[in-house]
Structure 1
Amino acid sequence: MRNACLLLPVAALLAAAPAAADVKQGVDAWTRGDYKAAVQTWRPLAVAGNADAQFNMGQAYKLGRGVQADLPAAIEWFRKAAVQGHAQAIDNYGLALFQEGKKAEALPWLEKSVARGERRTQLVLGTMLFNADGVARDWTRAYALVTRSSQQGLPQASQTLAQMDRYIPEVQRQQGLTLARKYEADARALAASLPAPRAPGATVNSAPPRAATPTGPSPAPAAATRAPLTTSGSTPPSAASPAATPRPTPAVAAPRPTPAPAPAPAASGGNWRIQLGAFRDESNARNLWAQVGSRTGGSPSYVKAGAVTRLQATGFASRSAAQAACAKARVSCVVVAP
């Protein structure tokens, strides 16, 4: 009986070896651009429960490589791998749920990803906390998470942080910086305590060779009381292991609003425009216009772009006039040339 007990782990290891090798064979085919061969290699392994193969199948369906693009199928494969603790799948599954508007379902997965220091999910969760979008408003923690994302080189995080600087009081920003340093130390300690990462070649990145780099999530949170923020873009996910959900910091009270500036002069009927945001729900675009539109002096335009509605103000005679209207709006704003 003792010999039988000792042999079980060895048998399991021997059984696992061919599967790992086959996953690597699929990655090699993917790297060569033979996406169909890669998918054919991974599918039986994914069905059998191999988390790396499940994640790779999710990438294939997400990108439409070797199979027809199918986002629901991609999300389901990411889910299967995520529940097994696959770090990259946790990242992608949380972001996909957020994009689908399932914020309550996304939150625990985003928290797991954020605990490891994943920069895309830090930006998304930080934006949610700033806007009170599916979570209680917490500007201190929002500033901490977006600061960490920015420090890790995500350009969209740096842009969002600049917006936050205009609205979050100095005291809360300093608290956020202190919390960001704690998050960085916690992530380093966690990384040091985790086992060695998966072997190279087990999974595929979001940007395969010979293919355009796919864009990441483009969340458009609901309008906040003071200043709605949006985030976009992504980078290839990291390969760190999952971690426990961090404990949220206490919510902070929003500061008293400052007096609104005088309305901008009426637009002159020119062809220059400004874009004030992009929203999944048109009602959020209209809510933002109700808050800031009068300050721009322009006329509202709700431009459909796929599933997103872009809020623009029109009728400016020149770039300088449009820039002045942006300054009056006091929200994230982009000048759009004729």
Structure 2
Amino acid sequence: MSDLSSAKPLLQVDDLRVSLPTARGWAQALRGVSWRMERGQTVGLIGESGSGKSLTALALMGLLPERARVSGSIALQGQELVGLAEPQMCQLRGARMAMIFQEPMTALNPLHPIWKQIAEPLRLHQHMSASAAKARALQLLERVQLPRARERLEAYPHELSGGQRQRVMISIALACSPDLLIADEPTTALDVTVQKEVLALIQQLVREDGMGLLLISHDLGLMQDQVERVMVMYGGAVVESAATPELFAHRAHPYTRGLFAARPRLGLARGTRLATIPGSVPELMDFPAGCAFADRCSLAVDDCRHTPPQAESIDRKTPGDAPHVVSCPRWRLP
């Protein structure tokens, strides 16, 4: 690899915008999303349902609805993905970038045994024979610590538990050793004990393979333990981003403060009501022209509803760290 290519980030997203058709016209679903990820870095994307987290992942993978309009840039180690023809995207999916979906029962094909589903990217991208791909599938299942892996090669998804199905999904995602792994709510359907096992497994595999990880969740506690940097998303835009310890110590955006205030905490007196963010995430067509959070924000003034906020760096005097960035002109107010 040349020095020029090695200097390029693993992933560079610049001013990514996605519009979707609705009964009321075209709606902006992603509004200027930008960030940079290096190889081996772990980044978290957090926000309420409807904030644009999963849509961002689908945009990266080139899996948006057929009529979606996309602008901006998504560069994977310098290769532009926006506007890339579908045959070329198919060469990247599963090979250089892979995704662990929310619900393995719906993501897995109920009509095929699990070894064939793990073998598919191996046969497609690495041109393995069926026997070689099946042997590799067994190695992957053993790597993700699926109990009695050899016996379960011929099992169908409905014969496995939720945690076991998620391990199969991880095996499929890792089959071709991708550079970028996207995990979209990978523990949603799992109980707490299995959640910890699956997350620990993902972290171990990311460290061993040196891939970049984009972890999508609505769980703040999970983010604190699992990623180096957190991006807070609302209304299709990243409203705040910082190194994880910095974000947890110094929340700047009113929406981020609201998320943290709503967390359940140990030691609260019995009957204590948690703080809530008023209202709910609006429909895409109902967001104000300015700050998407303005109608739910106690600090908002009329100008907030009409003028899109600009990203601003907060100097916390942490040399070498990526900057703490917030998109709110009133973040200094208490």
TM-score by length of 1: 0.27
- Larger Rg, first or second structure (1 or 2): 1
Bigger RCO of structures 1 and 2 (CA < 8 A, at least 6 apart): 2
Greater helix share, structure number: 1
Greater strand share, structure number: 2
TM-score by length of 2: 0.27
